[in-house]
Amino acid sequence: MSIKALHSEAPEELWLPGNSSCQGCGSTLALRWVLKALGKKTVIVSPASCANVYIGWWPRSSASVSYFNMAFAAAGATASGIVAALEYLNKKDVNVVTWAGDGGSVDIGIQALSGAAERGTNFIYICYDNEAYMNTGTQRSGSTPMGAWTTTTPFGKRQNKKNLAMIMAAHNIPYVATACPSYSKDLYEKIKKAKDIEGTKYVHILAPCPPGWRFDTELTVDMGKLAVETGMWVLYEVENNILSLSPPSKRLLDASKRKPVGEYIKLQGRFKDVKDEEIREIQRWVDVQWEKYKKFEEGCPVY
């Protein structure tokens, strides 16, 4: 389906223009498609993050759905309470969705998320991953990639990114997916699918961030595409413990089709001090991850 056809399938814009996100924000681009897929009967819960700022204050907020701005660690717990209240009121047609940053998900919010998933809470938890604590000026998170500069990793981060999507798959929830707004149809369809599944659904979206990653604002969509084409970000779904690669990633099972990671890294100022040997190290790590995806794609259960 073309973007034009997607817009005619979901013409209503629930994410309004004139919001306070930075130019070229990958997170708000993703949110626009997420809201198109969810529709108006949606409650968004957002912990402390850029999202609190760009959603804004009622009655001048940029989202034309209900939303709760919530304390940093509490998104999963707040969503659980809203789900329980809606169940008590017998309201079955409202989507409860957490929209949280990587810091609020991978680090500080993980226990509330894990508890909600373990209870099988009927909601969609979406992490938009800009790979650092951006709202407070770019501190490292568990999701920051190896080598990236942040104010708390002035010589580049020494650890690889934590894989929260796989951690959530190990919770035995019915649906886990990864996405990126550069592939809007893929993102839109995954949220539509998640909406119709009962229980806890987890979607992890890579959200390129021009000021935090230090690239020109017009390159946001290209940056997401390069993340996927180099294999540094992998698009997939996990259902019933079985992983299937989404079309843009599936063709990359053939390693010769993957672009070298340097093509992605060298466009971003956050990696400007990364040496060639470190790029080779990141490449080796990516190749090792792909050996695992190959096994999953052959039918090996994810946990």
Q: Is 220 in the site for ligand TPP (CB under 6 A)?
A: no
| Residue nearer to ligand TPP on the CB measure, 50 or 235 | 50
Question: Which one of 46, 102, 225, 261 is in contact with Mg ion (CB under 5 A)?
Answer: 102
Question: Which one of 28, 122, 135, 246 is in contact with ligand TPP (CB under 6 A)?
Answer: 135
DSSP string, 106-167: IITTHHHHHHHHHTT-SEEEEEEE-SSBTTTT-B--TTSPTT--BTTBTT---SPPP-HHHH
- Nearest in space to 302 (alpha carbons), one of 259, 261, 260, 243: 243
**Do 65 and 40 meet the contact criterion of CB atoms below 8 Å apart?**
yes
DSSP string, 15-41: B-SS-SSPTT-HHHHHHHHHHHHH-SS
**Which among ligand SF4, Mg ion, ligand TPP, none contacts residue 21 (Cβ within 5 to 8 A by kind)?**
ligand SF4
Residue type, 266: K
| Residue nearer to ligand TPP on the CB measure, 101 or 210 | 101
Choose the stretch contacting ligand TPP; rule: CB under 6 A; options: 28-36, 82-90, 128-136, 147-155: 128-136
Q: How far is the CB of 20 from ligand TPP (least distance, A)?
A: 13
Handedness of CA 106, 112, 116, 119 (dihedral sign): positive
Question: Which one of 80, 141, 230, 268 is in contact with ligand TPP (CB under 6 A)?
Answer: 141
Joined tokens for residue 24: 């070229």
Length of the chain: 303
How many other C-beta atoms can be found within 10 angstroms of the C-beta atom of residue 254?
A: 8
Choose the stretch contacting ligand TPP; rule: CB under 6 A; options: 115-123, 127-135, 162-170, 238-246: 127-135
**Which among ligand TPP, Mg ion, ligand SF4, none contacts residue 104 (Cβ within 5 to 8 A by kind)?**
ligand TPP
70 three-class SS: strand
**Which among Mg ion, ligand TPP, ligand SF4, none contacts residue 72 (Cβ within 5 to 8 A by kind)?**
ligand TPP
Choose the stretch contacting ligand TPP; rule: CB under 6 A; options: 7-15, 44-52, 157-165, 222-230: 44-52
Residues 49-88: x where in contact with Mg ion by CB under 5 A, - otherwise, as a string: ----------------------------------------
**Which among Mg ion, ligand TPP, ligand SF4, none contacts residue 83 (Cβ within 5 to 8 A by kind)?**
none
- Do β-strands 242-245 and 236-239 pair in parallel, antiparallel, or remain unpaired? antiparallel
# chain residues binding ligand TPP, by CB under 6 A: 15
Q: Specify the DSSP element, H or E, that contains 200.
A: strand 200-206
What is the 3-class SS of 50-109, one letter each residue?
A: HHHHHHCCCCCCCECCEEEEECCCCHHHHHHHHHHHHHHCCCCCCEEEEEEECHHHHHCC
Q: How far is the CB of 140 from ligand TPP (least distance, A)?
A: 10
Question: Which one of 24, 101, 208, 231 is in contact with Mg ion (CB under 5 A)?
Answer: 101
Residue type, 22: C
Kindly list the residues in this chain that would bind ligand SF4 in the complex (CB under 6 A). Answer: 21-22, 25, 27, 50, 54, 130, 134, 209-212
> Which residues of this protein are in contact with ligand TPP, per CB under 6 A?
48-51, 72, 101-104, 130, 133-136, 141
